[in-house]
Structure 1
Amino acid sequence: MRPMKLLPNLILLLALTLVEARAQSLKVIVKNPLGFERNDVTAITRDQLGFWLKKHDKKNFRIKMEGTEAYLPIQWTDYDGDGKYDAVLFQANVPANATVNYFIVSDSLKNKSQSQRVAYGKFSPERGEGLAWENDRVAFCLYGSGGKKSAKDASAFPGGVNPWFKKVAYAVIDSWFAKSKKQPGYYRQDHGEGYDGYLLGAGMGAGGSGLWVKDSLHLPGGFSSYRILENGPLRVKLEVKYARWSRFWVEETKIISLDMGSNFSKFEVYFTANTKAPGYSLGISLHDNKGKTRLEKEVGWARYWEAVGDSWLGEALIMEPRYIDDILTHVDAQPDRSHLLLVTKPRDQITYYTGFTWLKSGQVRHVEDWDVLIQQQILKLNNPLEVSVLSN
């Protein structure tokens, strides 16, 4: 009969444990003010977590959606590069004009969930010094200068942004790099996951940068150095630097980031010059000039829709309208020099977004769908998910 006497004590202990756990949890309320569903990476700041973190080990931080038991992937992030975390990221799924609750708990026993769907970046010296990054929707690649430190030498290497087409949500960069070593050109063919079917050449590709000087386009070469600042699972963040280039001796640093669930990479560009440089230009290669352009200067975006192989590719640039001087198409007889250009007002720092979609990814059915995704991206930038934290 002794076990029966212990039962009430066990029940009481369990109840007290649950009460204590609830008392130590934080309720996170995420509000979507827009009229469409969102699945965005969002942040809880260090200030919002201050009291909780004083009592708990950061490594035991877990977050889950109300009504579920699985912990979500998280990522601690450092915004200013001082070596201290500023926030924790998680991916919130919130219906249109709705609010969803999440709960933060401390759990040293149950791990947060792992997934092959990650934001990820990798440098491959064998792949033309390619620095590639991806998420569950898209992949991009920039190329280095082959170790060349001078602008003249670096100019022989492509400086544009190369989109890689994906059909799958899981990460492919490692696999494509590895298989291309054994089978040269592997990534140039679609084996069911997608492929690198884009003709970059010496152009700006899908969102490269340059200078627009008296109706003439001046472009940098490949990057001279790189760093991977953050590497998933929810956000990949990179830094690339370029040797001085053009007669203005432009020194350029780009901070690039890509979140899970997004078609758009964010580019934060910092540059200096020995004399005042004219407007910085961002561009999309027009290739054979047979695609469809749409220029929306007043609201800050431009896109190109073109045939690639047996499918279609949509590309876009987004920037705050107040920093845009002009949006135009520049047709050049020289190969790879025809571009859709977004020209900025002279500044030493700019932020823009470049993104794309591939018809075979299943993300869109036609160009009108791509236009909707672009406009939704602008709405999301202007109306981030609203996050508030309450203690229970």
Structure 2
Amino acid sequence: MKNLLFLLSLSFITLFVSCKTQSAHVITITNNLNIPRSLETIEINKSDLTLKHGESFEKLSVKDLETKSILVSQFVDDNQDGEVDKLLFQPEIEANSNKKFELIQVDEGSKPEIIDYCYSRFVPERTDDYAWENNKVAFRTYGPVAQKMVEDNIKGGTLSSGIDAWLKRVEYPIINKWYKKNDEKLGAYHKDDGEGLDNFHVGVSRGVGGIAVKKDTTYYVSRNFTNWKTITTGPIRTSFILEYADWDADGQTISETKHIALDYGSNMSKFEIELSGTNAISAGLTLHENDGEPTQNEENGWISYWQPHEDSELATAIVVPNGNMIDSELYVTSLKDQSNLYTQIKVNNGKAVYYAGFCWKKANQFASKADWETYLSDFNKKINNPLVVSFN
């Protein structure tokens, strides 16, 4: 009888320990590359976890089991149904190694300080821009009011689906500050007061990653976005959606919806574009005065344009993952703002994916063209070999 009671007790203890172990949300992240990884975003879906009774997904934090520290994290309601469905964080993983993390609930006082470096919004006070930024770079593009002003010959409009670059050289957010400064004194953000400035000309060019469809020797483009939706802002990611009216490419009707995201620490915005009417698009980089150095590195999946820019230097780039770059072309024309360095990208299952961004030498992020191009090759290597996430 004593033996039976002992066995039953042992079984209960084993079951209790087993259940306790299984209920912990332990995550192992593996880096299979021979380079260290940081500033890459891990996404944990709510559906990946089996939550205990009474446990709330949106109250979980990420603990580094090696350092015992709580990491900065961000929740996202990706499908906009009113409930968060994704948890984001950025681990540091050494080359060819793995690291363990646990999702736990902690007191508010134990959480790290949160700064919304990754920010975006619609800007009705400056006609109707949509602008976005992180701690490295900032961008904007143009809406339907700006288009109509051009069509109605009203001064101050912009007719372009190109992507503008705002050259910031501070870590903290500047979008609201610069627009406010411009409200107080028109054109104020065209002057550098130490934070950077807007002196990047877009016009009807593709700017930094605007798209086109090529037919024969001509590139056809859309007009300004017609609708927008902000998905998230926060310490790790901002993301949003831009919709465009259907447009014509020499008899082909193209539909286009851009899903754009920018993560902390990255110089590159991710463009995931829903399309119909074409099996390939071209994403472009403006050549401005055509006095820069284009690089077409199709083998490593990127193009770049390094150019003199007023009293400094500037580089723009497009990176295409998963071998989906078809080719590239240096397109030079006498037509104003229509010379671009293009890469042609496959449309797979109605989507084209690429990354577009830039660096400004005055921001002290990259010292040379060689440093920038090393970054691009490493960037594509990383997105083609993502960190591997496994659960307990």
Superposition TM-score tier, normalisation by shorter sequence: 0.7 to 0.9
> Taking structure 1 as reference, are residues 320 and 64 closer, same or farther at Cα in structure 2, changes over 3 Å only?
closer
Match of 1:325 in 2: 326
Gap regions ≥5 residues in structure 2 = 1-19
Structure 2 Cα separation of the partners of residues 383 and 269 of structure 1: 22
CA contact (8 A) 1:293 1:305 kept: yes
Structure 2 Cα separation of the partners of residues 374 and 37 of structure 1: 16
Match of 1:272 in 2: 276
Match of 1:387 in 2: 389
> Taking structure 1 as reference, are residues 147 and 377 closer, same or farther at Cα in structure 2, changes over 3 Å only?
same
Q: Deviations 1:217-276 (Å, cap 9, x if unpaired)?
A: 212221111111122231111111111222433221111111111111111111234xxx
> Does 2:209 align with 1:207?
yes
Residues 179-190 of structure 1 aligned to structure 2 (within 5 Å): 179-190=181-192
Q: Deviations 1:107-166 (Å, cap 9, x if unpaired)?
A: 244363233352110111122411111111111111112176899789961210111112
Q: Which amino acid aligns with 2:253?
A: W
Q: Which amino acid aligns with 2:102?
A: F
Q: Which amino acid aligns with 1:308?
A: H
TM-score (norm 2): 0.85
Structure 1 Cα separation of the partners of residues 91 and 54 of structure 2: 25
> Bigger relative contact order, structure 1 or 2, given CA contacts below 8 A and separation 6+?
1
Match of 1:18 in 2: none
TM-score (norm 1): 0.85
Structure 2 Cα separation of the partners of residues 35 and 163 of structure 1: 33
Match of 2:228 in 1: 226
Q: Deviations 1:142-194 (Å, cap 9, x if unpaired)?
A: 11121768997899612101111121111111111122111222221111111
> Does 2:259 align with 1:255?
yes
Q: Deviations 1:87-126 (Å, cap 9, x if unpaired)?
A: 3111212233333333322124436323335211011112
Structure 2 Cα separation of the partners of residues 208 and 124 of structure 1: 19
Structure 2 Cα separation of the partners of residues 346 and 237 of structure 1: 21
Match of 1:310 in 2: 311
Cα deviation for residue 57 of structure 1 reads: 2.4
Match of 1:194 in 2: 196
Gap regions ≥5 residues in structure 1 = 1-20
Moved more, 121-130 or 282-291: 121-130
- CA RMSD, Structure 1 to Structure 2 (Å): 2.9
* Secondary structure, aligned partner of 1:179: helix
Structure 1 Cα separation of the partners of residues 190 and 197 of structure 2: 6
> Taking structure 1 as reference, are residues 281 and 269 closer, same or farther at Cα in structure 2, changes over 3 Å only?
same
CA contact (8 A) 1:297 1:327 kept: yes
Match of 2:42 in 1: 42
Q: Deviations 1:44-91 (Å, cap 9, x if unpaired)?
A: 232442235x44223431223235565322222345555554431112
* Aligned residues between the structures: 367
* Secondary structure, aligned partner of 1:228: strand
* Secondary structure, aligned partner of 2:49: helix
Residues 35-114 of structure 1 aligned to structure 2 (within 5 Å): 35-39=34-38, 40-52=40-52, 54-66=53-65, 68=67, 71-80=70-79, 84-110=83-109, 112-114=111-113
Identity of aligned residues (%): 30
Structure 1 Cα separation of the partners of residues 327 and 22 of structure 2: 56
CA contact (8 A) 1:62 1:72 kept: yes
CA contact (8 A) 2:142 2:158 kept: no
Moved more, 247-256 or 362-371: 247-256
